[in-house]
Structure 1
């Protein structure tokens, strides 16, 4: 058994990447490899890359160095979005042996029969038009929750985004396969499943880019709600134009879906939304938030927003700031616009200087802290259910309520991966809520 090869993984980016890393890792285990942590000595290091933020590009080189420090003879493979968009760039990084694009990453074990280090990274990447088949995946990293991929790719043409170039057309898993994966996860004593994809509200488009929807997102949600053994289901992120009132109504009454939505806005200025080629205006966003509040007053609503997009004047930024300030939402994920090759936005005039982008980002992050605090305060004194996580953080165990309030109580290993009825009592100095058991 001493001869078994060891493989380690590092994932950059989104929940979807984490679910895919898990699937790739299982294919290695099936081939007789032992999985180890990334900071351990391994024979192969696989890095799942991301192309969404400028930072992810820089991080890649640091991660390769980290792997080489552990074992300078190890075989290093790069997969994922950045590997699809800029394979030659990754292949030229010192120490990288193999770069696999969007369709090849799930067949990685076919490419590594020979673990000899290469002078130059070998590239196997398809034309993105060939990424027209679907590979289902789910991650089981920690014991409490799993990310379940239901959809991949995107047919939207937002002017700042490279994801359609990195992941191809919108395509979905079959309903049967999603339900089979959900049942497999449930058997492993995992209490919460987070649905993930690139554009999950577009769920149902056939496997080969068939534009006809076999099933709708609402039908998927209704079917998943019946899977035995799952305590909680969470929708990760869904476009406002694809989040229908019927889905909101269903979630409000469902057995397992929790009152938490993450809905990308990107800008509170209609002019900027049009320049971004988003498929809605701010008025629709207000309607969605109002509908959610009407049927789920305690719902947690998270918002993605991009600052510093070309043409975002001070006035247009303030439009966004004031729009979000007035909106009954719970927190923000703030992204600073960064130029991406092969996008329309990179050709646009009225570029916002980086120092202004950073200042705006800081303002919105400050607003997010204020919003989260107000949301947490609105929940004090209420009775909720908490799912405890597995880490001991400075003598405390943390968890999340169904509506995504972060809570803590003194560390007790028996609480790990268990659900409890609690009452939210006070907010600590670190912004986390304390609780009492009911």
Structure 2
């Protein structure tokens, strides 16, 4: 056992990346490696990269430095979206030994023959058109919830986005595979599964880019709702044009799906949505939010929005601000537009100065704080179910209600990974909600 090599992982970016890191980690385990925390000395460091924001590019170099500080003889491998888009750039980073593109990342153990350092990173990447097969994955053992990948790639041509270049065409896992993965997760005492993918509402496109939908997203949701042992299912980000009324209605009556939706808007201006080549206008977004509120008044609704897109004037931005301010939503994820190579938007006129982008971002982040506070206040006095997480943060244990209200109570290890009936009592200074247990047994 003493000779077993140690491998550590660092994930940048989205929930989908977390699920894929876990699958890659299990592959290493099958090959006789021991997984350790990234903060520990390891023989191999694997960094799963992201290409969505400029910061993710910069973060990569910092993570490599951190690995080299822990063990300057360690073998460092880069996988993921940025590794597909800019393999040569990553290979040139001091300390990087191996860069694997979209089709190679799940075969990483095949590429690690010896662990000696390379002068220059070795690159194995493909043309993205070759990424036409599907590898299912899910994260487990990392937290109280699991991220279950159901779909990969995207056929949309949004003018700001590199994801189709990094992940290829839209393709889905077979329904029976998704259900099998869900059963495996539920058998390990994980209480919540979050469905993830690049464009999950597009679920059903065949493994090899076959455009015929074997099953729809609604079929997937209905089938997962019947899997025994799953307490909670949560839908991650879903496009407004693909979130159908039938799905919203099903979730409202579902056994396991929670009343929480995260729906990208990107802009509240139809002019900007057209420049972005989004597949809907703001009126569709309003319809979706109204439908959710009609059947699930207490649902949590999160919104992605981009500020500073080329051509976004002050008037366009204020249109977005007022649209969001008037809408009954719960929080915002605000992204400051950053130019990405090989995207249409990178060559568009009307560049918004960096200081204006920053100011607009700050305004929307302030609006998000206000919206979350109003949503939390609307929930005070109500009874909810909370799933507690495993971390002791300054003497408190935190968790989330089914409708995504963050709560806290004094640390009690017996509450970890348990579902508890609670009453939401008051909002704390840090923005989380204090609670009272309805079941006194919980206060052991």
Give CA-to-partner distance per residue, 1:369-417, whole Å, 9 cap, x none: 0000000000000000000000111111100000000001111000000
Which residue matches 1:422? Answer: 422
Which residue matches 1:64? Answer: 64
Which residue matches 2:335? Answer: 335
CA–CA separation in structure 2 for the residues paired with 1:62 and 1:251: 41
Whether 1:21 aligns to 2:31 is no
Matches within 5 A, 1:179-194: 179-194=179-194
RMSD: 0.5
Which residue matches 1:225? Answer: 225
Which residue matches 2:168? Answer: 168
- SS of aligned partner of 2:139: strand
- Are the equivalent residues in 2 in contact too, given 1:142–1:390 (CA < 8 A)? no
Deviates more, 1:78-87 or 1:112-121: 112-121
Whether 1:322 aligns to 2:322 is yes
Which residue matches 2:39? Answer: 39
CA–CA separation in structure 2 for the residues paired with 1:141 and 1:75: 24
Which residue matches 1:199? Answer: 199
Which residue matches 1:251? Answer: 251
Matches within 5 A, 1:352-367: 352-367=352-367
- SS of aligned partner of 1:138: coil
Pairwise CA distance, 1:272: 0.1
CA–CA separation in structure 2 for the residues paired with 1:144 and 1:37: 17
Matches within 5 A, 1:304-315: 304-315=304-315
- SS of aligned partner of 1:61: helix
Which residue matches 1:127? Answer: 127
- SS of aligned partner of 2:95: coil
Matches within 5 A, 1:44-55: 44-55=44-55
Give CA-to-partner distance per residue, 1:181-207, whole Å, 9 cap, x none: 000000000000000000000000000
Pairwise CA distance, 1:240: 0.1
Pairwise CA distance, 1:113: 1.3
Which residue matches 1:349? Answer: 349
Pairwise CA distance, 1:116: 1.2
Pairwise CA distance, 1:346: 0.5
- SS of aligned partner of 2:47: strand
Matches within 5 A, 1:75-94: 75-94=75-94
- Are the equivalent residues in 2 in contact too, given 1:157–1:277 (CA < 8 A)? yes
Pairwise CA distance, 1:141: 3.8
Deviates more, 1:151-160 or 1:139-148: 139-148
CA–CA separation in structure 2 for the residues paired with 1:396 and 1:116: 44
Query: Which consecutive unaligned segments of at least 5 residues does structure 1 have?
Result: none
Pairwise CA distance, 1:144: 1.2
Q: Which stretches of structure 1, 4 residues or longer, exceed 2 Å deviation after superposition?
A: none
Aligned residue pairs, count: 438
Which residue matches 1:292? Answer: 292
CA–CA separation in structure 2 for the residues paired with 1:364 and 1:143: 30
- Are the equivalent residues in 2 in contact too, given 1:143–1:189 (CA < 8 A)? no
CA–CA separation in structure 1 for the residues paired with 2:141 and 2:21: 10
CA–CA separation in structure 1 for the residues paired with 2:368 and 2:175: 36
Pairwise CA distance, 1:164: 0.0
Pairwise CA distance, 1:316: 0.3
CA–CA separation in structure 2 for the residues paired with 1:176 and 1:113: 35
Which residue matches 1:3? Answer: 3
Give CA-to-partner distance per residue, 1:212-261, whole Å, 9 cap, x none: 00000000000000000000000011000000000000000000000000
Give the structure-2-normalised TM-score.
Answer: 0.98
